[in-house]
A and B are shown apart, each in its own frame.
Chain A
């Protein structure tokens, strides 16, 4: 009997939880705020679903019910992606070692 592809995805999911567990414990506490903003940004990879939904509309009917939800989701996720990565960058920029000053 063949293994259902769902089981493979579940395996990836569970292994990723373990990876997440070990990686996040190694994050230094002083960077917990950037950690939250960057996890925010990467979880917006949900935009791939929004893009698929939006592109599914036909040329005559670009804004079908389904693709309209997709379009809105694109805006929401894009705010998060740009906002999340940029604000993280802005924060991390401040964590540079200050040289010359003591």
Chain B
């Protein structure tokens, strides 16, 4: 058994290692090393915990068994999961962190002696507040992530679920949580503790159901942040520095990502949380307009011809590429183009896909070197000097209406200036609007050629025609 001071030092070290793990992600070259720091930090934290408890009864055997079971499940998932399913996976993992936080809080509540928090019925006030906040945030994270998971997985419709008085109800439940915690501190009554957790589960569900599919990058980042705050709450309860540091890191990480995603959509965080975006934008007016405007459509042969005669091509991938699993075919196409000395780059909008950085991972999976992939602000000026923009599975992020039409719901959102290219190839299954429910003006421009097909099939056909 090691002293409390010594173990605190080790927890601090593991906290520092976690900071270094995030720091490593500032560049792909240092990122792998960063991940090893993270793993080292975790091993230190776990080993020190065993040593500091010190009593190795039969419980230890079970702890190790359960550790191995969980680890095996986790490892299995990590190796099996296709890269296109990363958003669901991350949402699922968030829910587990949330639930673990709830369970640890419950365990501490039921057996406060083992955590030095007082005795049953007279738990220290500060600890009681900390553990109920940790449990509450954990429960919100859990149920919210489950809803996000179901929406991303397509088990639940991605369209927002809205009913009247929704925000008022959330407000009441939020207040109810605080009032219950207040009474919990006064009475130390079990039933109030359970009530807090139950209400929090409900709040998590209610918070996420009104948020539509297009806002999923914000939701995932936000839940990431919540899982951090839940961990920090538990960290205060357990008086554990590693947990407090980690919670703060994860909490601010998720908050920053949410901010970046909101900014990329030109939406305020509040309006995302209130939800309902993309629910009722399909007004009849835009539909009428669509019927009148002519659209040029082409086939794989036309597309191959255009690209062969280009000297520079910019690829704009979006969620549709992920759905169709077209990234490998795309890479093949690009290889062919490069053989003909055509310069190819990739332009990625921050909210392309269903989570931050989703497209980058898919391209990396298809062996696209990361120095050919550019972010919005780095490449946007290049469209004017390029011959062909190949839009595959992206939609709203290319809509020029965001710049020109103040009435458009996406007005003000930074978009890729695809229309400035000499010609635009737009791979899409139909003319239907994107997740934002907005018609894309780009479809009707003179220099746009629509390629109506599944993204993967079309790309493969183009590859054949490039020979």
| A interface residue numbers (CB < 8 A to B) | 5-6, 9, 12-14, 16-17, 19-21, 23-59, 62, 64-67, 69-98, 101-102
Q: A41-B38, A66-B107 given. 5 additional CB < 8 A pairs?
A: A45-B243, A47-B46, A49-B234, A50-B107, A83-B78
Minimum C-beta distance from B35 to chain A (A): 5
B206-242: contact bitstring with A at CB < 8 Å (1 yes, 0 no)?
Answer: 0000000000000011001001100110111111111
Residues of the B chain whose Cβ atoms lie less than 8 Å from the Cβ of A96:
28
Q: Is the CB of A78 within 8 A of B69?
A: yes
B273 at the interface (CB under 8 A from A): no
| Interface status of B278 (Cβ within 8 A of chain A) | no
Would you call B364 an interface residue if the criterion is a C-beta within 8 Å of the partner chain's C-beta atoms?
Answer: yes
Chain A residues with CB under 8 A of B94 = 40
Interchain CB contact (< 8 A) of A78 among B26, B70, B228, B370: B70
Query: Are A33 and B75 within 8 A (Cβ)?
Result: no
List of B residues within 8 angstroms of A19 by Cβ = 19, 248-249
* A85 and B79 alpha carbons, distance in the complex (Å): 11
Within 8 Å of chain A (Cβ to Cβ): is B5?
A: no
Q: Which of A65, A80, A85, A97 contacts B96 (CB 8 A)?
A: A80
| A67–B70 CB distance below 8 A | no
A79-B74 CB under 8 A given contacts A19-B249, A35-B22, A62-B62: yes
For A95, give its contact among B14, B21, B110, B364 (CB under 8 Å): B364
Whether A33 and B355, one on each chain, are in contact in the complex, defined by CB atoms closer than 8 angstroms, is yes
Q: Count contacts on B: residues with CB < 8 A to the other chain.
A: 117
Residues of A contacting B: mostly? helix
Whether B110 and A94, one on each chain, are in contact in the complex, defined by CB atoms closer than 8 angstroms, is no
Separation of A53 and B110 alpha carbons in the complex (Å): 10
Residues of B within 8 A of A30 (CB): 28, 348, 357, 360, 364, 370, 373, 375
Residues of A within 8 A of B305 (CB): none
Assembled-state Cα–Cα distance A33/B228 (Å): 16
* Cross-chain contact B107 with A23 (CB below 8 angstroms): no
Check A102 against B110 for contact (C-beta < 8 Å): no
Whole-angstrom distance between the alpha carbons of A21 and B371 in the complex?
26
- Residue B126, interface by CB 8 Å: yes
Please report the C-alpha to C-alpha distance between residue A88 and residue B79 in the assembled complex, in whole angstroms.
10
Residues A79 and B73 in contact in the complex (CB < 8 Å), given A42-B38, A66-B107, A74-B67? yes
In whole angstroms, what is the CA distance A84 to B91 when docked?
12
Q: Give which listed residue, B27, B77, B96, contacts A77 with CB less than 8 A.
A: B96
Could you tell me if A98 and B369 are in contact, using CB atoms closer than 8 angstroms?
Answer: yes
Identify which of B104, B250, B364 contacts A39 (C-beta below 8 A): B250
Most chain A beta-carbon neighbours within 10 Å: one of B78, B94, B257, B348: B78
Query: Which partner residue on chain A sits nearest B32 by CB separation?
Result: A92
Q: Contact at B242–A48, with CB atoms within 8 Å? A: yes
Considering the chains assembled together, what is the distance between the CA atoms of A66 and B108 in angstroms? 7
Cβ contacts under 8 Å, A67 to chain B: 59, 107, 111
